[in-house]
Amino acid sequence: MTARDPTGFLGQEYRELVDAQANWTLHELAGPSTPWCTIDGRKVLMFCSNNYLGLSNHPRLRAAAEEAIRTHGVGSGSVRSIAGTMDLHLDLERRLAKFKGSEASLVYQSGFATNAGLIPQLVGDGDLVVSDELNHGSIIDGVRLSRAERAVYHHADPADLARVLDAAEEHRPEYRRILVITDGVFSMDGDIAPLDRIAAEAAKHGAMVYVDDAHGEGVLGEGGRGIVSHFGLGRDRVHVEMGTFSKAFGVVGGHISGSRALVDFAFNRSRTWLLSGSAPPPVAAACRAAIDVLENEPEHIRRLWSHTKRFQSTMRDLGFDLGASATPITPVMVGENAVARRLSARLLDLGVFALPIVYPMVAKGKARIRTIMNAALTDDDVGHAIAAFETAGRELGLL
């Protein structure tokens, strides 16, 4: 019998990704995530981080993290269900629930762990999950981990959601539970889910509503409270509000907000929560400080939107296709993978770091440069980015 290399497929499949220009190349960030930073040894303008409000280097967050190390150390020493629940974790959850206007909140180790851990517990055999066709990969994986049946509705289309839910009513045997799940802000296109109409359709059928608001927090709603606040929806309409501390909050970690019953259920059933070490003390303290900043320094959100409106208006006037963006996520649509990669490389030459998003992360022919605005940028920084896009766009025949 001829011996075979059981790992030979690894190199082969990677080479196929390279040939299709669909592989990722890692870039080294030396130092903090600031507007001007060092990437691969070059000083460039950061134009694609999720650090919407510039809080990852905010003095109040840094001071809170340093103090927590002094008082609590650098790790909790356990999972939260055994000996890893510190006063910092509990206080963070109380503060988050108050900020969100919910009965309770629960912090997970990451946003991905939140979706992967909770969705499979909310639905199972005899249930149905109804998902937007462009939902984030962590939602998709969470749904796959469940034993529920699955249905997909057209992107951000409440009428098609109604069609799917009407059909579900005819299913026999009758579904035990139906879960409707959507992103709040879609991370590749920057458009906003019509959550008010989605929730209304779900209510007609007695379905639960779960929104992943990772990219809406700190951006939408009163004081950055997110999409539920943005649409003025009650907790009787949106049952699970999921989010993450790794974007506008500037730190790391996932979370949910909702009823006390939801939180009690979630931490008893989510294996990603039960079997993962808890957030290190400086992380929990920095997340709590981020909430303080959102409550007391509204200028960050105002500046974020001011920069966004200027950038999008000028880019559209130049002739760039920005898709359906209605948020600080601004895709610059170019079509083919190779074109997106060339544009990104030229932007880097011009001092702007903005990466290409290509198939299979987006559909074929939908490659783009995904830019994300940052409140910490100056007006001159935004002008520099616009000028770089104009130069590169004309050189590549995009304008």
Q: Is 181 left (phi over 0), alpha (psi -120 to 50) or beta?
A: beta
Choosing from 100, 247, 366, 384, the catalytic residue is 247
Contact at 8 Å (CB) between 235 and 242? no
- Confirm if 376 and 34 have CB atoms less than 8 A apart: yes
Quick count: other Cβ atoms within 10 Å of Cβ 185? 27
H or E, element range at 51: none
Q: Is 215 a catalytic residue?
A: yes
For the question of residue 187 being annotated catalytic, the response is yes
Q: Is 98 assigned a catalytic role? A: no
CA distance 350 to 384: 9
Dihedrals phi, psi of 94, to nearest 5 degrees? -65, -45
Calculate ∠ Cα 37-331-223, nearest 5°: 75
Q: Answer for the pair 184, 227: CB distance below 8 angstroms, yes or no.
A: yes
In terms of Cα–Cα distance, which of 210, 207, 128, 208 is closest to 175? 128
Q: What is the spatial distance between Cα 91 and Cα 285, in angstroms, rounded to a whole number?
A: 9
Is 154 strand, coil or helix? coil
CA distance 202 to 137: 22
Q: How far apart are CA 395 and CA 95, in angstroms?
A: 50
User: Out of 136, 215, 239, 300, which one is annotated catalytic?
Assistant: 215
Cβ 328 vs Cβ 373: under 8 Å: yes
> DSSP 3-state assignment of 32?
coil
3-state secondary structure of 35: coil
Set 56, 187, 325, 344: catalytic member = 187
Among residues 325, 322, 252, the alpha carbon closest in space to that of 282 is found at: 252
* 370, β-bridge pairs: 331
Catalytic annotation, residues: 187, 215, 247
